[in-house]
């Protein structure tokens, strides 16, 4: 599957089959995280692969919007170091997007669980500390997101997009 096809087929999958993900597919997801671009090629983002069902269940209450996580076959917790790069948030987000597209190309589904919250600092701290305590993440790392993976229970239809002309400007902002 080429990249544009993966982008077109990508959906947020929140209902998963109970099947485990084959180790070689997990390795491919990890490789896509590792190879994702980062500002100045600095290793500002790091990843925690979680396949233990008990831990996936423990991470589910991180936010009220991640009930799907307890049914995922695996997850990657994306953390980032602001001390390593001022682009830590962008680097972590790009890595997650690369893994999501790779998951799509492998026939897996994925869902993004935002942990870091740029506007509600107390909520962000609560969420990040919740994950940090369970996974032993050092205090100087930010917990950006949890990306859950599994085989889709169903294939949701494409969402209706707004017209391209609404968001594309040529040469100048119009």
Tens of pLDDT along 3-59? 999 999 999 999 999 999 999 999 999 999 999 999 999 999 999 999 999 999 999
For the cut 90, the answer to whether the pLDDT of residue 158 exceeds it is no
* Predicted local distance difference test score (pLDDT) of residue 128: 98
For the cut 90, the answer to whether the pLDDT of residue 159 exceeds it is no
Global pTM? 0.95
Q: Number of folded domains in the chain?
A: 1
Please tell me the distance from the alpha carbon of residue 123 to that of residue 116, in angstroms, as a whole number: 8
- pLDDT per residue over 97-147, tens digit each? 999 999 999 999 999 999 999 899 999 999 999 999 999 999 999 999 999
Please tell me the distance from the alpha carbon of residue 150 to that of residue 141, in angstroms, as a whole number: 27
171 belongs to a structural domain? no
Segments forming the whole domain that contains residue 118: 3-153
CATH number of residue 98's parent domain: 3.40.109.10
- H-helix segments, the chain: 3-9, 23-35, 53-59, 88-105, 121-135, 164-167
Please tell me the distance from the alpha carbon of residue 168 to that of residue 90, in angstroms, as a whole number: 22
92 belongs to a structural domain? yes
């Amino acid at each position: 599957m080429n990249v544009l096809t993966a982008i077109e087929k990508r959906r947020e999958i929140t209902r998963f089959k109970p099947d485990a993900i084959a180790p070689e597919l997990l390795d491919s997801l990890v490789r896509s995280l590792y190879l994702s671009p980062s500002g100045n090629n600095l290793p500002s983002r790091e990843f925690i692969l979680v396949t233990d069902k008990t831990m996936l269940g423990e991470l589910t209450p991180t936010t009220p919007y991640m009930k799907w996580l307890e049914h995922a076959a695996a997850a990657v917790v994306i953390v980032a170091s602001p001390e390593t790069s001022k682009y830590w948030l962008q680097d972590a987000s790009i890595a997650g997007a690369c893994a999501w597209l790779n998951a799509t190309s492998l026939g897996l589904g994925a869902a993004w669980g935002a942990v870091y919250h740029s506007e509600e600092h107390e909520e962000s701290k609560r969420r990040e500390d919740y994950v940090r305590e369970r996974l032993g993440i050092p205090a100087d790392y930010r917990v950006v997101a949890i990306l859950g993976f599994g085989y889709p229970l169903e294939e949701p239809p494409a969402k209706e997009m707004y017209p391209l002309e609404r968001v594309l400007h040529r040469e100048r902002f119009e």
